[in-house]
Structure 1
């Protein structure tokens, strides 16, 4: 009999891409498994999951109010309704695995009510509230970062496996010689840029960053005067600036593996997925942690900073003046960076095998 596995999570690429990496690997190992996703109506999962060939169902996005208001009084009723929706979606599942995000809390509770086995993967160095709830019900817990926050309670038994990444990202570090030059040349040609000039890759996560966007736009004259080419992912919901000979703005970068290969330096936020990808491809970066949530982006960046793979600047200090004044140091660091070899076993394979083992018991 075919097994049914539900992947819960979404909102941003940091939740969706790791889930898809595991789903794709699991489908290769067990083609007869029925794999589906639960997300919210407005998350990035609605573009990426169907494109990967998996169905996605929706659950209401219930935000926990951060201050006393009428919405706080209504919240328990809305949350209970979302749990009931989760019960209906998970009733026939054999296993639920969550990756964090707004869809996860009601799904975790629904799985607990139904007695379904739950697994979770926590991508950030500091867990969000969804997986802090999920860990209470999880049969197995996987983490991408080791941190003090994960050495207490059920987190103590978590397996440190790194981040599930797409196959093309994992294969990037294996490229050598002519093969790497070919990937780089093809991508630069697609961008219609020059292979003889420095290429800066800028992105602020899947949703973009207005603060980073402003600093880059204010630095364009400096980049032009110094023959620096900029590929700038501004975010799907942000205005697209005018392109020039040396400046290529895009809403979103689909092929990140090729983009990393073609670039000489990266400027980005320090979401868990970005940090894991940078480590996998061996690319030096300037990281600007997003100052929200529980400080997870600052914690995410520390491993790369400590290994010499990144410089980290706080959001309130980063601007065009800082960038121009520190540009020479950034280029020297990028040119001198020697990446560490990556392990052969992928996190996607580890989780997939764990799912298969659990379902065979």
Structure 2
């Protein structure tokens, strides 16, 4: 039976990407999906581009310190909840992914008696999902170590719903033939040597300036036969290109400011140097990739926690941002590439990966609706 499912979440790619992956899976299973978002978040562009109905509500952040906004909060909150009630009326399930959008949606679902399913992407849960978990039927987690549970329902570790292109690559990489074929095709499209040991350096779409500087400073020491794919981030490529040219390794150190088809560079990587956002960690383990994680040094420390399970199992190494220097990078990156230890780390990473998270979460959503009907 087709369900009417409302999904809430937005603001950042960390919320929007798993939401869209889940919505895509639900739509393929024959369900109608509506997304609640704000005009300010990435969802304003990404959700309509993916073909889903997007309904806007006002953004209502909770003030972190006394301000004039505090006095208008009750009215703005009430308006957001009322708009969520209108959107949710007639829905079978609300699926929340956290962020500003989810909090009023959770409250509206509670008022209407609509069952709530929560997905928490980070190892350290956000405020919205901590509130919603108090009455959620199901809480789904990316990481086993996340301290969040459904107080009146059940808790499941599903992993993070992956973008379809990454999910496809992950399934290919779970067989030797599939891994080799995907690598050969991607290397051909990128114009690089398919069988050379390959280091991928990436700080995400915005880049990571410190990682760029440290690794570019080691360009002269690039081991023979090794190649690098370096994604610098928008507007951060010129200093890296200059360092690579001066080192004379431009034929093996390939610099991009950004790539749209991330699955291509991941298909050829043997070792990844990166930040440790929840989406990154989930993708690295699903793809069976060893990592050197350099967590973002700002925020509440969730990036270090996100990497915890991968590092503890032996599939990755974590180096705090201030400690990531030429000496530590030389030892952790160059000495590791091509080694037997790297192969062991790849096996561990693959064993941790959850490739079918979107489908597993979709099944839990369907189960929640069915249970609601029986009640």
Partner of 2:256: 249
Taking a change above 3 Å as real, the CA distance of residues 156 and 109 of structure 1, as seen in their structure-2 partners, is: closer
- 1:320 and 1:39 map into 2 onto residues whose CA distance is 43
Q: Is the 8 A contact 2:59 2:100 kept in 1?
A: yes
Query: Is 1:334–2:331 an aligned residue pair?
Result: no
Q: Is the 8 A contact 2:287 2:353 kept in 1?
A: no
| Mapping 1:337-348, distance limit 5 Å | 337=345, 338-339=347-348, 340-341=350-351, 346-348=356-358
- CA deviation map 1:11-43 (0-9, x unaligned): 3332222222222222222x2x21122223343
| Mapping 1:149-298, distance limit 5 Å | 149-150=147-148, 154=151, 157-165=154-162, 166=164, 167-177=167-177, 179-223=178-222, 228-235=226-233, 238-242=234-238, 244-245=250-251, 246-256=253-263, 258-298=264-304
SS in structure 1 of the partner of residue 125 of structure 2: coil
- 2:95 and 2:302 map into 1 onto residues whose CA distance is 22
Cα offset, 1:85, TM superposition: 3.0
Taking a change above 3 Å as real, the CA distance of residues 7 and 234 of structure 1, as seen in their structure-2 partners, is: farther
Count how many residue pairs are aligned between Structure 1 and Structure 2.
353
TM-score (norm 1): 0.85
Q: Structure 1: 5+ residue runs without aligned partners?
A: none
Partner of 2:15: 15
Taking a change above 3 Å as real, the CA distance of residues 285 and 183 of structure 1, as seen in their structure-2 partners, is: same
- 2:56 and 2:230 map into 1 onto residues whose CA distance is 32
Q: Is the 8 A contact 2:276 2:293 kept in 1?
A: yes
Taking a change above 3 Å as real, the CA distance of residues 185 and 2 of structure 1, as seen in their structure-2 partners, is: closer
Query: Is 1:302–2:300 an aligned residue pair?
Result: no
Cα offset, 1:134, TM superposition: 1.3
Q: Is the 8 A contact 2:173 2:179 kept in 1?
A: no
Cα offset, 1:55, TM superposition: 2.4
Partner of 1:354: 364
Partner of 2:137: 139
- 2:352 and 2:323 map into 1 onto residues whose CA distance is 32
Taking a change above 3 Å as real, the CA distance of residues 343 and 186 of structure 1, as seen in their structure-2 partners, is: closer
- 2:15 and 2:45 map into 1 onto residues whose CA distance is 13
TM-score (norm 2): 0.82
Partner of 1:24: 24
Cα offset, 1:323, TM superposition: 1.8
Taking a change above 3 Å as real, the CA distance of residues 234 and 59 of structure 1, as seen in their structure-2 partners, is: farther
Cα offset, 1:270, TM superposition: 1.3
| Mapping 1:33-182, distance limit 5 Å | 33-147=31-145, 149-150=147-148, 154=151, 157-165=154-162, 166=164, 167-177=167-177, 179-182=178-181
Taking a change above 3 Å as real, the CA distance of residues 336 and 10 of structure 1, as seen in their structure-2 partners, is: same
